[in-house]
């Protein structure tokens, strides 16, 4: 493992930064977010430039690189305040799972379109009654036809989901459900591609109190009929398939948080160099400079862990990647929230004005402490898996 990025990675970083500058936070993202409008122009442009699909296989229109490169794209965009929440979902989770476990037809249908951004796939696992305890999800898929005689014509999906991001922009949602074993009646997790225009697929926008261009939805799947080929991978291997997508999700969430933290730190440093209320710029006061130096260190540490997680994942160490991705997500969320809070403090009253949008970004940065996995569930993972402590739940 090298800490020196390749020429290709450096060039990718530079071209993403150019796009991020063009669609920057204050001029483009913030006004859109305040109106609750998605970042469609930016998404399309990023797709055209090949940024959205850098991790997807070349034979399906992707860049043939890894999660490291997708994280690099996300971090650099977010460092301009232009991180794309749906990158975490569409190419990172859904693209990875379909790339690894999809049929040739599913790959052909979805990967080129996810790579160029012309199609978006949302991801739905969370349910109101299950929350962090995903083992308790109840969305159920039963055979549409007489499963007992092996006449498997398709599936009927019934259940509900909550907080699902970007469903209004998505062509389909990768739904985590359970299949009913026709013999034992036991439920096993399974993944389904559910088009958002399917009869019986109902979405309701949630009233969130964060200023964000993407929205969250409650879904009600009212006996949605799906063809047999809607199932991704094996009906009874979904846990492994799911984990293939969840590590990239955490790495990409970390990248977005680290990028936001970088944005906040840059804004704070600029302001601290310019603003003078005594004899020197406020950045000369250690009460301002030390907390910013701490933020810098914590962001760099989080980034190191994210890069380690991406490296392990891209090199096939899924177990090592899971631990590192959880730790990276924890560290990145904490560092970026602290960065935003300290950037606001550095700006004084200006930090709470609409002009800078830092308070709005703090709300968005706060998401990373809750989703895709909460801080406490990460600490549970580390307690049990890294430290071998017993669990309380």
Ligand X SMILES: Cc1cc2nc3c(=O)[nH]c(=O)nc-3n(C[C@H](O)[C@H](O)[C@H](O)COP(=O)(O)OP(=O)(O)OC[C@H]3O[C@@H](n4cnc5c(N)ncnc54)[C@H](O)[C@@H]3O)c2cc1C
Give the binding site for ligand X (CB under 6 A).
Answer: 89, 122-126, 131-132, 163-165, 216, 367, 370-374, 376-377, 380, 393
By beta-carbon proximity to ligand X, the closer residue of 278 and 393 is 393
By beta-carbon proximity to ligand X, the closer residue of 156 and 377 is 377
Cα dihedral across residues 328, 168, 27, 277: positive or negative: negative
- Return the number of other C-beta atoms located less than 10 Å from residue 319's C-beta: 11
By beta-carbon proximity to ligand X, the closer residue of 241 and 346 is 241
By beta-carbon proximity to ligand X, the closer residue of 61 and 81 is 81
DSSP state of 28: I
By beta-carbon proximity to ligand X, the closer residue of 5 and 202 is 202
Nearest distance in Å: CB 323, ligand X: 18
Nearest distance in Å: CB 373, ligand X: 6
Nearest distance in Å: CB 166, ligand X: 7
Contact 214, 166 (CB under 8 A): yes
Q: Which residue lies nearest ligand X, judged by its C-beta?
A: 131
How far is CA 270 from its chain centroid? 29
Token readout for 308 is: 């380690």
CA-wise closest residue to 94 among 67, 65, 114: 114
Residue with tokens 């109106």: 35
Cα within 13 Å of Cα(13), Cβ side = 14
Kindly list the distances between the CA atom of residue 146 and the CA atoms of 6, 124, 191, 229, in Å, as whole numbers in the listed order: 55, 27, 21, 17
CA-wise closest residue to 101 among 251, 287, 234: 234
- Return the number of other C-beta atoms located less than 10 Å from residue 386's C-beta: 11
The CA distance from 33 to 212, in Å, is 5
Contact 345, 290 (CB under 8 A): no
By beta-carbon proximity to ligand X, the closer residue of 7 and 209 is 209
Cα within 13 Å of Cα(177), Cβ side = 32
Nearest distance in Å: CB 80, ligand X: 21
Nearest distance in Å: CB 341, ligand X: 19
By beta-carbon proximity to ligand X, the closer residue of 73 and 246 is 246
Nearest distance in Å: CB 206, ligand X: 9
Nearest distance in Å: CB 15, ligand X: 28
- Return the number of other C-beta atoms located less than 10 Å from residue 366's C-beta: 16
Nearest distance in Å: CB 262, ligand X: 21
Nearest distance in Å: CB 163, ligand X: 4
Nearest distance in Å: CB 348, ligand X: 29
By beta-carbon proximity to ligand X, the closer residue of 77 and 164 is 164
Residue 290: burial class (beta carbons within 10 Å; 0-12, 13-18, 19+): exposed
Which ranges of the chain does DSSP label H, i.e. alpha helix?
7-22, 30-35, 40-48, 67-78, 85-87, 96-101, 104-116, 238-274, 286-314, 318-347, 358-370, 375-381
By beta-carbon proximity to ligand X, the closer residue of 190 and 268 is 190
By beta-carbon proximity to ligand X, the closer residue of 32 and 347 is 32
């Amino acid at each position: 493992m090298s800490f020196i990025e390749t020429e290709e990675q450096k060039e990718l970083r530079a071209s993403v930064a150019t796009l991020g500058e063009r669609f920057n936070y204050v001029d483009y993202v913030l006004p859109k977010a305040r109106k609750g409008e998605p970042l469609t122009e930016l998404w399309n442009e990023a797709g055209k430039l090949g940024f959205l699909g850098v991790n997807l296989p070349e034979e399906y229109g992707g860049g043939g690189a890894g999660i490291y490169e997708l994280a690099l794209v996300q971090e650099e965009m977010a460092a301009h305040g232009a991180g794309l929440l749906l990158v975490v979902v569409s190419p990172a989770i859904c693209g990875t799972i379909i790339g690894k476990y999809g049929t040739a037809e599913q790959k052909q249908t979805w990967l080129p379109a996810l790579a160029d951004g012309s199609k978006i796939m949302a991801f739905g696992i969370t349910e109101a009654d299950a929350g962090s305890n995903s083992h308790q999800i109840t969305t159920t898929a039963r055979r549409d036809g007489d499963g007992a005689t092996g006449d498997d014509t398709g599936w009927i999906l019934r259940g509900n989901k909550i907080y699902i991001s970007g469903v209004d922009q998505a062509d389909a949602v990768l739904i985590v459900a359970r299949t009913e074993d026709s013999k034992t009646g036991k439920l096993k997790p399974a993944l389904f591609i559910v088009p958002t225009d399917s009869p019986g697929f109902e979405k309701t926008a949630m009233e969130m109190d964060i200023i964000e261009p993407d929205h969250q939805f409650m879904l009600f799947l009212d006996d949605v009929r799906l063809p047999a080929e809607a199932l991704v991978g094996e009906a009874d291997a979904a846990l492994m398939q799911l984990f293939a997508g969840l590590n990239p999700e955490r790495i990409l969430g970390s990248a977005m948080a680290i990028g936001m933290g970088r944005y906040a730190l840059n804004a704070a440093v600029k302001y601290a160099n310019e603003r003078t209320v005594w004899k020197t710029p406020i950045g000369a006061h250690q009460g301002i400079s030390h907390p910013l130096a701490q933020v810098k260190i914590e962001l760099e540490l989080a980034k190191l862990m994210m890069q380690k997680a991406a490296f392990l994942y891209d090199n096939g160490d899924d177990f090592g990647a899971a631990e590192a991705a959880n730790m990276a997500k924890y560290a990145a969320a904490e560092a970026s929230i602290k960065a935003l809070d300290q950037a606001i403090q550095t700006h004084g009253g200006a930090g709470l004005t609409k002009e800078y949008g830092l308070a709005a970004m703090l709300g968005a940065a706060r998401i990373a402490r809750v989703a895709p996995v909460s801080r406490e569930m990460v600490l549970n993972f580390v307690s049990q898996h890294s430290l071998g402590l017993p669990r309380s739940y």
